[in-house]
Structure 1
């Protein structure tokens, strides 16, 4: 999932728009080397989705439900696979409950030991409608269920990071800024200096060495020939890409600034343009890192621990009571 940020950068010589493509943190993705290594209970490398039996639907539709939700989770970067549970794997238990005149889908994240770690509820469906579901209706149910599962996995990882004093929830991220390449004029130097100055005011720590870095930022600038413009006033297209990767060189996201400028207007000093571009880039990079590490995600505590509430209704993230 990407989120686009469109903002204008006011400058004396030109205006450049910022378009940031930001990745949502993924529950199974590494939240940072130290956090992953020291977590008490690391996230699963695979999530099995066995065909459910207690769902009050035909076996062939139950199998489609498991396959559909596994496929949708894969699209959201969760390594789910529709198969029977295997030793050592976390797995997703699909089931339903009848409550009055409705059937309520339930999604339980199960540990390799077979314990319920968290449960989410889907939207209730009238009994008559549930008994008449077809493969198309099952696909719709799976889409909602996949969102619930991703939410639960994010909350589980947030709790793991809460328990780890060395995780990125409890310290600033160390960010190695590799600098800027490809800019005309003094852009490489001006952009780099302005970004470093802006980023020092963020919640992260910028450094000039890759040693122990949690994230890396590398910036490239590209110029392309643009339209002739009015009155023989040629234009150029400029693209500034701020690429963020984690400690395993996996891409976190890219913030890209795009605009048409007067040809060669940036062949000399960048001045205020560099400052404005770097300020908004620093904000976008900081947001990418915050989202990726899941700092703002509410933790889901294991059932039975203090503060662990009941089963979550649709759109919420709450852990079930013991034995739920």
Structure 2
């Protein structure tokens, strides 16, 4: 992290302004109409009856249309339509048994492009679900599907043409932990946006993801009582759990500044770390290190460090939770 972070602190005062004069990577994408149409067929694997399945598809279409996504509900989509495939699975036992809906984006060749999942719904509520419940689930997941769709579109436009058949690289955002205030949520959200602009599709489900990303945050006393030192470590792993590298950020902030809203601080941290995360993946030879706009540096990014050497003991180092 650079001195720009402290400059932002002085400029923003107590009211974070995360996007003032800086709309983020999604802004340019949102200004361009999507060149595809989605179709949502009634789900056959969602533990619903035929009538309920049609209601669920209609509810999701309404939610996506409110996000300005071109979408229809159809059991017979056209050949060039992309699909939103809805499934659901039972989880838990006894009184805690629930149903978790899942949503998968399929391109015109019916190849998976991104996946997300909804919150668990009590089994009894799901069995008796009506349009009210479906509308609630659709409103919760419509924005997530829209963001994934925009990321896929942006990634496909920026990816090396030779790699388009494989689709854009997908990364599972495992999460951020250890941050005070709303730091865990804000850092994860801003990093998703930044990596989306770097050609990745960042999803909150492990299904189909080639990489995993998590961050550990520590806020410790600084050199004086007036400041605290913030340490953020972004850990990039491969699907099999092997750690590929880390991006380390450190800086000092006024004591207590991060106890509530992170605001611009989360934006700056994610903006600077995203380049390092992409470099770690590029160095693993899984994504191209160049874009159509010109060559990108292939050396280590600022803050990017290689994985730590193996421990002297035979005990294996901890890894991220396995990606399903």
**TM class by smaller structure:** 0.3 to 0.5
TM-score where L is the length of structure 1 = 0.41
Compare relative contact order (CA 8 Å, sep 6+) and give the higher one, 1 or 2. 1
Larger radius of gyration: 1
